[in-house]
Amino acid sequence: MSSDTVSRPSALRRLYDWTLRWSAHRHAEKALFGVSFAESSFFPIPPDVMLIPMVLADRSRAFRFAAICTLASVLGGAFGYAIGLFLFESVGRAVLDFYGYAAKFAEFSALYNEQGWLIVAGAGFTPFPYKVITIASGVTAMDFGIFMLASAVSRGARFFLVAALLWRFGPPIRKVIEAHLGKLTAAFFILLVGGFVALKYLL
């Protein structure tokens, strides 16, 4: 086993712990904005790491925190789009290679012509690495308006779902969210898309 294989998990763990510590800082909201922005283009730790303890510390501000995550994430997604559109060879490819996302990038970028908006929405809502999609959207020159709309809807739904569960159920739901966030958001996304498809055929 290479030294890189050994060191990378520990480095990510330190970065995770560093991010978590910011959730209790007096400038936590600014840090939440920064992490949410960066995670959409290059940062490896999802904003949920900060969002969850911040909401539990002050449930009355749960939806304010979710709104901060959403706004910053969508803006960060636009930055990722710009990297893909203008700086893929010099910056974007290095980001994807560093995190081992090159294969996922190739897989998803090939589907953009027909299903671009659905890919963006799915990645924005589920735990799939969103930075892959924002960069791929720029590389394939996906319609920027559709990209931003899909990002806003999916990222908003993701963060507000987490905030709403914590606001309603408090600390007991934390372990469920942390252990099953992927399943929860994927199930909700399937229901959401299913509703849109059903509505399309009914109208």
Give pTM, 2 decimals: 0.76
Q: What does the pLDDT look like over 153-198, one tens digit per residue? A: 888 988 998 899 899 998 887 777 766 665 565 555 555 555 444 4
Looking at the predicted structure, is the pLDDT value of residue 99 above 80?
Answer: no
SS (H, E, C) the chain: CCHHHHHHHHHHHHHHHHHHHHCCCCCHHHHHHHHHHHHCCCCCCCCHHHHHHHHHHCHHHHHHHHHHHHHHHHHHHHHHHHHHHHCHHHHHHHHHHHHCCHHHHHHHHCCHHHHHHHHHHHHHHCCCCHHHHHHHHHHCCCCHHHHHHHHHHHHHHHHHHHHHHHHHHCHHHHHHHHHHHHHHHHHHHHHHHHHHHHHHHHC
Q: What does the pLDDT look like over 115-132, one tens digit per residue? A: 667 777 766 666 667 888
